[in-house]
Amino acid sequence: MKMTMSQKILAAHVPGRAASPLATDGGRGATALPLRPGELVMARLDLVLGNDITAPVAIGEFQKFGRATVFDREKIALVPDHFTPNKDIKAAAQCAAMRAFAREQGIANYFEVGHDCGIEHALLPEKGLVTAGDLVIGADSHTCTYGALGAFSTGVGSTDMAAGMSAGETWFRVPSAIKVVLKGKSRKWVCGKDVILHLIGMIGVDGARYQSLEFAGDGIASLSMDDRFTIANMAIEAGAKNGIFPVDETTLAYLREHNAKPPRVYEADADAEYERVIEIDLDELEPTVAFPHLPSNTRPVREAGNVAIDQVVIGSCTNGRISDMRAAAEVLRGHRVADGVRAIVIPATQRIWLQALEEGLLKTFVEAGCVVSPPTCGPCLGGHMGILAKNERCVATTNRNFVGRMGHVESEVYLASPAVAAASAVAGRITAPTTPNP
């Protein structure tokens, strides 16, 4: 059969090419006619996602199709998260358009600010809206996050989102794949962010262009779900069509905890074909930082030199989950943010914000001199809540550090993990914690 995990999920959603999931007795799923890399197919969708930047454009296009209703009000998710809480009149107008469409169409999964809101790629898994084996498109490039759950998920443009909302299907070019074998176990202060930055540093921002990054190896067992979400989230920073992890007990436990639909588990065939195989020994990884102005411009933090900083941002769809909050708080506890440094902490969802409050993490942040924001993408895309001025430097747990990404074109963004970001806030320069903080 020679199909990768991603190819099997696609095949399961193509009429007449349906691949079956793994049988309960451990038997492998099968398909009548395997998909081939490069083949163009039309596939049914399990979920279509949009946010306050991309959905209004899609809504405008949808209205041109002449359809009165979306294909399935239960299979569309609309999340205002980028410029929310609204930063200006234009942002308010964008959200108003999406809110009106959600009401008109009876969209079941519309998440209003302050009610049950959050950053889309943290919120949807938390709400159990994605499960293993799903095929998901979203008008946001980091839709690939859901590959952590064993789903095929990828970003599309607003026009494709509109077509997906209308027809419940869209076209795909079947991707080839790169197999990334993770071995060993990460050391203290090394997390999923360091893994993906290391990989992007190895292969470059176009190293997996329109390919699947398929993760395998015994090292996966030591990765938390939050680690996997971070890694899959930044697959796009390597140019990948999607990133995907095998479904194991950690995945299944997460899906049960979040009341997701029953999973459909697929595995790559033993003889599946890959463009290349990359091995990463987790035991050897160090805290890593990406220097401006590419996520691939990586080096170990110990080689960063004396880089003074003006701001730290801990949050985003990449690193705004509860384990990220805990790691940052562990480093900050008993310390103060350096004079002249602004530290901004952004829990990714209301649930995470409340959990951080209940665990005393927010108290730790405030006592250390941080400001805590409501859930928002905010500064990640240069939206609000932390825009950089000319010549300012920021260590961020976000996903991109392109020119002008967080503000002025002559500002600089350095990508790192929550632990490195927190340690840098205290030191006033890029550094990493060296020992567990008592």
Residues 58-69 pLDDT 10s: 999 999 988 899
Task: Clarify whether residues 187 and 318 are in a common domain.
Answer: no
**pLDDT higher for 15 or 171?**
171
Pairing of strands 342-345, 211-216: unpaired
Task: Clarify whether residues 59 and 117 are in a common domain.
Answer: yes
Domain annotation covers residue 161: yes
Full DSSP string of 343-376: EEE--SBHHHHHHHHHTTHHHHHHHHT-EEPPS-
Domain annotation covers residue 432: no
Collapse the DSSP code of 48 into the 3-class scheme (helix H, G, I; strand E, B; otherwise coil) and give the result: strand
- Its pTM stands at 0.94
Say how far apart CA 195 and CA 245 lie, in whole Å.
14
Task: Clarify whether residues 303 and 276 are in a common domain.
Answer: no
What does the pLDDT look like over 349-382, one tens digit per residue?
999 999 999 999 999 999 999 999 999 999 999 9
Decide which of 226, 248, 281 is a domain's last residue: 281
Domain annotation covers residue 87: yes
Total domain count, the chain: 2
**Percentage, residues of the chain above pLDDT 70:** 96
pLDDT band at 436 (very low <50, low <70, confident <90, very high): low
Task: Clarify whether residues 243 and 323 are in a common domain.
Answer: no
Decide which of 256, 281, 306 is a domain's last residue: 281
Q: What is the mean pLDDT of the chain?
A: 93
Task: Clarify whether residues 297 and 275 are in a common domain.
Answer: no
Asked if residue 362 lies in contact with residue 372, where contact means CB atoms within 8 angstroms, the answer is yes
Domain annotation covers residue 251: yes
Task: Clarify whether residues 155 and 19 are in a common domain.
Answer: yes
Task: Clarify whether residues 276 and 422 are in a common domain.
Answer: no
Domain annotation covers residue 435: no
**Percentage, residues of the chain above pLDDT 90:** 90
CATH number of the domain enclosing 295: 3.30.499.10
CA-nearest of 279, 123, 275, 121 to 195 is 279
Q: Is the pLDDT of residue 24 over 50?
A: no
Averaged pLDDT, 264-285? 94
- Can you give the residue range of the structural domain that contains 389? 291-427
Domain annotation covers residue 49: yes
pLDDT band at 434 (very low <50, low <70, confident <90, very high): confident
Decide which of 281, 305, 337 is a domain's last residue: 281
Task: Clarify whether residues 82 and 181 are in a common domain.
Answer: yes
Task: Clarify whether residues 236 and 352 are in a common domain.
Answer: no
pLDDT band at 114 (very low <50, low <70, confident <90, very high): confident
Q: Is the pLDDT of residue 22 over 70?
A: no
Q: Is the pLDDT of residue 30 over 80?
A: no
Domain annotation covers residue 438: no
Residue 23 is predicted with a pLDDT of 46
**Torsion sign over Cα 352, 355, 359, 362:** positive
Task: Clarify whether residues 260 and 373 are in a common domain.
Answer: no
Say how far apart CA 230 and CA 115 lie, in whole Å.
25
Say how far apart CA 366 and CA 117 lie, in whole Å.
22
Domain annotation covers residue 433: no
DSSP bridge pairs for 311: 342, 394
Q: Is the pLDDT of residue 438 over 50?
A: no
Task: Clarify whether residues 75 and 192 are in a common domain.
Answer: yes
Task: Clarify whether residues 179 and 219 are in a common domain.
Answer: yes
What does the pLDDT look like over 154-181, one tens digit per residue?
999 999 999 999 999 999 999 999 999 9
What tokens appear for 96 in the block?
A: 């108003």
pLDDT band at 18 (very low <50, low <70, confident <90, very high): low
Q: Enter the DSSP assignment of 262.
A: P
